[in-house]
Amino acid sequence: MVKICCIGAGYVGGPTMAMIALKCPDIEVAVVDISVPRIAAWNSEVLPIFEPGLDEVVKACRSRNLFFSTDVEKHVSEAGIVFVSVNTPTKTRGLGAGKAADLTYWESAARMIADVSKSDKIVVEKSTVPVKTAEAIEKILSHNNKGVSFQILSNPEFLAEGTAMEDLKSPDRVLIGGRETPAGRKAVQALKAVYAHWVPEDRILTTNLWSAELSKLAANAFLAQRISSINAMSALCESTGADVAEVAYAIGKDSRIGSRFLNASVGFGGSCFQKDILNLVYICECNGLIDIANYWKQVVQINDYQKSRFVQRVVSSMFNTVSGKKIAVLGFAFKKDTGDTRETPAIDVCNGLLGDKALLSIYDPQVTEQQIRRDLSMNKFDWDHPQHLQPLNLSDSVNLVQVSKDAYEATKNAHGLCILTEWDEFRKLDYQKIYQQMQKPAFVFDGRNVANVVELRKIGFIVYSIGKPLDPWMRDLPAASSF
Ligand SMILES: NC(=O)c1ccc[n+]([C@@H]2O[C@H](COP(=O)([O-])OP(=O)(O)OC[C@H]3O[C@@H](n4cnc5c(N)ncnc54)[C@H](O)[C@@H]3O)[C@@H](O)[C@H]2O)c1
């Protein structure tokens, strides 16, 4: 039986391996991690991550041909194909700090593979890595091997959290990059055969290693760029009276542009977009392509601008101060249908409001109180390290935060409410009831355009909705700060 091992039981390693186990009953899949609580959770009734459809797949395969273990070395040494899906955070110090990818976890995984391997292996980069990482990994493996041969493949993951299981079941494409040598081509075919269990052949693309590595960074840069582009338009819409939803609809009808990824919002988040663009910027700089680096940097800057613009709208609308005022925050995850809060715009928005001494009351259907407090205390980029290595010093401002059990509790006696995640349940709330229990004037700041502005205004709310014609209350107030 072919054995696969995946190092890193996170948002990528867990779901991707569960799908391989489901679709390939002839393959034994072991997912390993250095985090004991994470592996314990994968082996329990409550999985460590929330992802629609994941529970069913894990329960169908676990202990059949899918195993979760902390015995990293045993499973790596037994496997023919080793996926590496560990964290690749942004460096916080040293050369490239704030931009370059920190490959510490990758390097230690590679050294461990070299140490424990007694048979030939295919090592697959699943983590998102800088272009040319495979070359560095090859060097580590080949300088430490004991007569064992390794083939490195790049197989970046394109799943989106919230729809990961659907994305894995019917991917737009699977990308496999390998060396253009007979051994490299053979390794590519071996990995292709795994995916061919369920992915149509024409959707499995094979390229050279560097194209595969760069394509992942390029895909995320293009996706994030669309969001920053429509968000840039949202600011202009507010200044001119245009409606960003109408503009998005009109331009999305152009088949050259297409309609997806054109929702204006408080900003993009998630573990990948910012990290991958900063990484791309760094690679451009290292290659002397300063103008190209600056071009991509703007995508992140507009995202930061959008978040600070939102905070400024809240503060300026509420008589230029939110000090001591209760503000309800509905939604903390970076998007709906996930409990993931990595780089969620809610962190920057909440910290912005806390900076002005607001009293926050936060509700999210999937994010725990402990996670919210941790996120609001953490330094930039610290989140992307294995949890047991994250520093935990709860900052004083976290005392101004209360975490609520539902939207009604969160909004009781609040002066304003901010919608920061597009959870479906926020579309269906009883806003009349919410209005009655809030202080007056009662404000809604909709950072995801989920609420019905006309209905809310009819109830009596003063409403700000990103990129929509402004409420008369806000028309002459300062709208934006520069970054
Ligand atoms: N989350 C996404 O949507 C997504 C999508 C595509 C690609 N990626 C990329 O995939 C990679 C993993 O992302 P993730 O979201 O799954 O991260 P994650 O933090 O959820 O998981 C990484 C896991 O690796 C473990 N780990 C770190 N070093 C280890 C080691 N030496 N041995 C064993 N385990 C180790 C950590 O404990 C952690 O559980 C990153 O490079 C990311 O950029 C993420």
| Domain limits, the chain | 2-199, 238-474
Residue 53 confidence class, pLDDT cut points 50, 70, 90: very high
C-alpha 430/C-alpha 16 separation (Å) is 38
Q: State which ligand 1 atom lies nearest to the alpha carbon of 340.
A: 1
Do 366 and 50 meet the contact criterion of CB atoms below 8 Å apart?
yes
Q: What is the mean pLDDT of residues 284-313?
A: 97
Q: Which of 34, 77, 86 to mutate to test the pocket of ligand 1 (most atoms within 8 A of CB)?
A: 86
Closest CA to 149 of 181, 112, 123, 179: 123
CATH top-level class for 238-474? Answer: alpha beta
Distance from residue 226's CA to the centre of ligand 1 (Å): 25
pLDDT at position 390, please? 65
Q: What is the mean pLDDT of residues 396-424?
A: 94
Query: φ and ψ at 133, to 5 degrees?
Result: -60, -40
Query: φ and ψ at 81, to 5 degrees?
Result: -125, 125
Distance from residue 321's CA to the centre of ligand 1 (Å): 40
88: pLDDT strictly greater than 50: yes
pLDDT at position 350, please? 97
Q: What is the mean pLDDT of residues 84-94?
A: 91
pLDDT at position 403, please? 97
Among residues 6, 272, 284, 418, the one annotated as catalytic is 272
393: pLDDT strictly greater than 70: no
Which range, of 87-91, 188-192, 310-314, 361-365, averages the lowest pLDDT? 87-91
Percent of the chain with pLDDT over 90: 84
> If you take atom 33 of ligand 1, which residue's CA is the nearest one?
33
Q: What is the mean pLDDT of residues 105-129?
A: 94
pLDDT at position 483, please? 47
465: pLDDT strictly greater than 70: yes
Regarding the domain delimited by 2-199, which CATH topology (the fold level of the hierarchy) does it fall under?
Answer: Rossmann fold (3.40.50)
Distance from residue 190's CA to the centre of ligand 1 (Å): 24
Is 272 marked active-site? yes
Distance from residue 105's CA to the centre of ligand 1 (Å): 9
Query: Residues near ligand 1 with C-beta < 6 Å?
Result: 7-13, 33-35, 38, 72, 85-88, 105, 108-109, 127-128, 157, 159, 161, 271-272, 386
Q: Which of 5, 6, 12, 140 to mutate to test the pocket of ligand 1 (most atoms within 8 A of CB)?
A: 12
Is 238-474 in the same CATH topology as 2-199?
A: yes
Residue 177 confidence class, pLDDT cut points 50, 70, 90: very high
pLDDT at position 383, please? 67
240: pLDDT strictly greater than 90: yes
CB neighbours of residue 140 within 10 Å: 18
Distance from residue 33's CA to the centre of ligand 1 (Å): 10
Q: State which ligand 1 atom lies nearest to the alpha carbon of 13.
A: 16
Q: What is the mean pLDDT of residues 203-228?
A: 97
> If you take atom 21 of ligand 1, which residue's CA is the nearest one?
10
